[in-house]
Amino acid sequence: MSTPYPFTAVVGQTDLRLALLLNAVSPAVGGVLVRGEKGTAKSTAVRALSALLPQVDVVPGCRFSCAPAAPDPDCPDGPHGAGPGGARPARMVELPVGASEDRLVGALDIERALAEGVKAFEPGLLADAHRGILYVDEVNLLHDHLIDLLLDAAAMGASYVEREGVSVRHAARFLLVGTMNPEEGELRPQLLDRFGLTVEVAASREPAQRVEVVRRRLSYEDDPAGFAARWSGDESEVRARVVAARALLPQVRLGDTALLQIAATCAGFEVDGMRADIVMARTATALAAWAGRTAVLKEDVRQAALLALPHRRRRNPFDAPGLDEDKLDEILDRFPDEEPENDPDPEPDPGTDPEPGPDGGPENPQGPDDDGGPDGGGGVPPQGGGPQDEQPPAEPAEAPADSPEAPRQPSAQDGGPEQAAVRPAEPFRTKMLSVPGLGEGAAGRRSRARTAHGRTTGAQRPRGQLTKLHLAATVHAAAPHQKARGRAGRGLVIRKDDLRQATREGREGNLVLFVVDASGSMAARQRMSAVKGAVLSLLLDAYQRRDKVGLITFRGAAAQLALPPTSSVDAAAARLEKLPTGGRTPLGSGLLKAHEVLRIERLRDPSRRPLLVVVTDGRATSAGAVGGDPRELTARSARLLAAEGVASVVVDCESGPVRLGLAGALAADLGGPAVTLDGLRADSLAGLVKDVRTAVTTPASHITRRAA
């Protein structure tokens, strides 16, 4: 739709609106990372923000949006003389996930180079976004090297391009906004730190608010222009407030008490580095300007901490984000506020007392109090507490004994009652498991692969569009044909068939599919706690190596896909935490389920190679719905996976003085090695040597490993 959804018509999402508006007031805050589930209006709110930004004055004809009053002296289109400028709306530039490096930073203008013989620079998206918004949807799916370039430019306020004989520097100051769904994977901590603020969004659980979201969304779809017109007054008010806050910002005083509060907060939450202190100071200053004050108060510091620290505090990868607000208040209470001097009365926040809006719903001129944009969604209570606090859900009534929700009684086929879930043992650093051969999957840190970035290992004819030219190989291919082309001694003639593309080798991410035995035998001797700790360790390793993960469990009469393949290892860890045990062991069914999951994933993402990790003691006491001999079914299923070349490793969970060695037999059928729980540790040298020896002496082995 050509008419964007109004910013002030979004329902809920108080923190998201505030974070975006603070960056509009002070772009030096450093941008916003919006994290949340799908359908929560993340993209809608960001796209609507551009309409609230004031117009920018630009030098006519300048491709880099230089300001007439203070043009960039190093502008590639400069130098610009003094003169009147032209006003245009602030741009919102979207960076696609599949964008190339050339599209982001710019490159040599090939057309002018061939036609005119000059080295001309073609600007990229960073130049287009100067003095506007650069929006990256699904930023966690963007390649790491692009994120590095993006965040470096955002931090320095300039883009430096050194490539293909072109050396260019141009200003690149923009409001950086990234959105992501954590279920699709996380950003690296050092990249998270480069975003100024972060906001967690979720759909509202309040029926009345969800109804208002749907009502506004349907009204917008029926008549986008009319809907936007009904909210134009509120949009103008917020736009005027942004302009006023920008004008007031240089006058805001950040006193010593506020600085002590900021420093004590960052130290109390053990934040690494000094970027958090600087971002908190800028955010608190912007909050004061937004409230119409010239002095920073404790409430500004508190809100700044809730926005600037959750993604910077030290935490384990599987810990929930957010801050301990009681601890935050305890730190801030050590430093009383300074008395403001001649501070004007703060302007009341329009979002504190909602009035009925044009559509009959709650209205918040400060920014959308709503999540009802094209992405749907709902509101989330503000982190600092407020009127939207939700009531705790009522305890569900006990289901009738014959209903599907009633707890299922153990049957003879299950082999025993279900046992309560046990907590996993502490995770440890695991040895690196990798897939042999050379893949071509997504960039990661596990197995060897041909990648767009990495060390150059050779050259090949381009398949499709030429990317990285291998000059030496191209000249070598063209040299033998120069005499036949009639140009011997008079320069080198290169034809299309001579072009060679550089091949590079790096690391790829894999699909690590866990098949976990949750039967009654795994619960013996409290073994399941150690097993969960080992799987949690492997999940942590997968998180660090940027893999996709999936989780299959088997117990009782069947296997189930507990977690479809995803990039969110947090979700896998949560499922593992609640995993119950008990019943018989349908090991063959678990392997067949893995075969089916891998078949479907191969169709979805054929370039991502799988690594199957089977966690079991090797016992097979049930054939499940397939029927027949359980051990024979297990052997056939394992050989089926081996025949398709699936790289596998068996984590042998058998313990006690008497061991049957069934996991080792399973590993032989799978064509991969078996490793004990103790041997899985990276510091277990004996286990490492044993696994390497097994991998070398087993011809059908599909796994190689080295110390992480």
Q: What integer is the mean pLDDT of 487-513?
A: 80
Average pLDDT, the chain: 78
Highest mean pLDDT among 347-361, 518-532, 603-617: 603-617
Q: What integer is the mean pLDDT of 553-579?
A: 84
Q: What is the predicted pLDDT for the residue at 89?
A: 84
Asked if residue 700 has pLDDT above 50, the reply is no
Q: Which residues pair with 612 in a beta bridge?
A: 513, 648
The verdict on residue 179 lying in a domain is no
CATH code for position 284: 1.10.8.80
- 433: enclosing H helix or E strand: strand 432-434
The verdict on residue 99 lying in a domain is no
Question: DSSP class of residue 423?
Answer: P
Among 108-112, 148-152, 579-583, which is the least confidently predicted range? 108-112
615 and 476 inside one domain? no
Q: What is the predicted pLDDT for the residue at 693?
A: 39
Confidence grade of residue 545 (pLDDT, cut at 50, 70, 90): confident
Among 491-495, 626-630, 638-642, which is the least confidently predicted range? 491-495
539 and 670 inside one domain? yes
610 and 643 inside one domain? yes
651 and 525 inside one domain? yes
Quote the number of domains for the chain. Answer: 3
pLDDT digits (tens, 9 = 90+) for 202-233: 888 889 989 999 999 999 999 989 999 999 89
The verdict on residue 465 lying in a domain is yes
The verdict on residue 174 lying in a domain is no
Percent of the chain scored above 70 by pLDDT? Answer: 78
pLDDT digits (tens, 9 = 90+) for 363-381: 443 443 444 443 433 333 3
643 and 563 inside one domain? yes
The set of residues, in sequence order, having a beta carbon less than 8 Å from that of 71 and lying 6+ positions away, is 59, 62, 78, 79, 80
Asked if residue 58 has pLDDT above 60, the reply is yes
Asked if residue 705 has pLDDT above 60, the reply is no
Q: Where are the alpha helices (DSSP H) in 309-423?
A: 325-332
Residue 474 structure tokens: 């191209």
Q: What integer is the mean pLDDT of 43-60?
A: 85
CATH code for position 543: 3.40.50.410
Q: Which domain holds residue 496?
A: 450-507
Among 164-173, 522-531, 661-670, which is the least confidently predicted range? 522-531
Asked if residue 289 has pLDDT above 50, the reply is yes
Asked if residue 189 has pLDDT above 50, the reply is yes
The verdict on residue 112 lying in a domain is no
Q: What is the predicted pLDDT for the residue at 392?
A: 42
306 and 454 inside one domain? no
Q: What is the predicted pLDDT for the residue at 296?
A: 93
Q: What integer is the mean pLDDT of 660-668?
A: 91
Asked if residue 390 has pLDDT above 80, the reply is no
Among 65-74, 188-197, 302-311, 324-333, which is the least confidently predicted range? 188-197
Asked if residue 344 has pLDDT above 70, the reply is no
Q: What is the predicted pLDDT for the residue at 683?
A: 59
Asked if residue 428 has pLDDT above 90, the reply is no
Nearest partner of 581 among 637, 622, 541, 527, judged by Cα: 527
Judge whether 647 and 609 are in contact, CB under 8 Å. Answer: yes
The verdict on residue 359 lying in a domain is no
Judge whether 303 and 290 are in contact, CB under 8 Å. Answer: no
491 and 520 inside one domain? no
* From 112, 205, 230, 275, active-site residue: 275
Q: What is the predicted pLDDT for the residue at 115?
A: 56
Highest mean pLDDT among 78-92, 248-262, 491-505: 248-262
Asked if residue 298 has pLDDT above 70, the reply is yes
Confidence grade of residue 420 (pLDDT, cut at 50, 70, 90): low
47 is catalytic: no
Among 1-10, 398-407, 575-584, which is the least confidently predicted range? 398-407
CA distances from 548 to 85, 401, 556, 564 (A): 51, 39, 27, 10
458 and 522 inside one domain? no
Residue 475 structure tokens: 């000249």
Q: What is the predicted pLDDT for the residue at 488?
A: 54
Q: What integer is the mean pLDDT of 152-162?
A: 82
The string over 276-313, giving b where at least 16 C-beta atoms fall within 10 Å of a residue's C-beta and e elsewhere, is bbbbbbbbbbbbbbbbbbbbbbbebbbbbbbbbbbbbb
pLDDT digits (tens, 9 = 90+) for 503-513: 878 888 889 99
486 and 503 inside one domain? yes
Spacing of C-alpha 565 from chain mean position: 15
Instruction: Classify 602 as helix, strand or coil.
Output: helix
| Amino acid sitting at position 569 | V
Asked if residue 525 has pLDDT above 80, the reply is no
Boundary residue ending a domain (302, 332, 362) = 332
Which is it for strands 32-36 and 197-201: parallel, antiparallel or unpaired? parallel
Among 90-94, 392-396, 586-590, which is the least confidently predicted range? 392-396
688 and 563 inside one domain? yes
Instruction: Classify 29 as helix, strand or coil.
Output: helix
Q: What is the predicted pLDDT for the residue at 139?
A: 84
462 and 610 inside one domain? no
273 and 287 inside one domain? yes
The verdict on residue 149 lying in a domain is no
Q: What integer is the mean pLDDT of 567-596?
A: 85
Q: What is the predicted pLDDT for the residue at 596?
A: 94
The verdict on residue 60 lying in a domain is no
Q: Does the CA dihedral 350-351-356-359 come out positive or negative?
A: positive
Q: What integer is the mean pLDDT of 677-705?
A: 49
Angstrom distance (rounded) from CA 611 to CA 583: 27
Boundary residue ending a domain (462, 483, 507) = 507
Q: What is the predicted pLDDT for the residue at 467?
A: 72
pTM of the model: 0.61
Boundary residue ending a domain (473, 490, 507) = 507
pLDDT digits (tens, 9 = 90+) for 120-144: 778 889 888 888 888 888 888 777 7
Highest mean pLDDT among 7-11, 41-45, 302-306, 539-543: 302-306
Q: What is the predicted pLDDT for the residue at 57?
A: 87
Q: Which residue has the higher pLDDT, 298 or 52?
A: 298
Judge whether 537 and 636 are in contact, CB under 8 Å. Answer: no
pLDDT digits (tens, 9 = 90+) for 96-126: 877 777 788 887 665 565 556 566 778 889 8
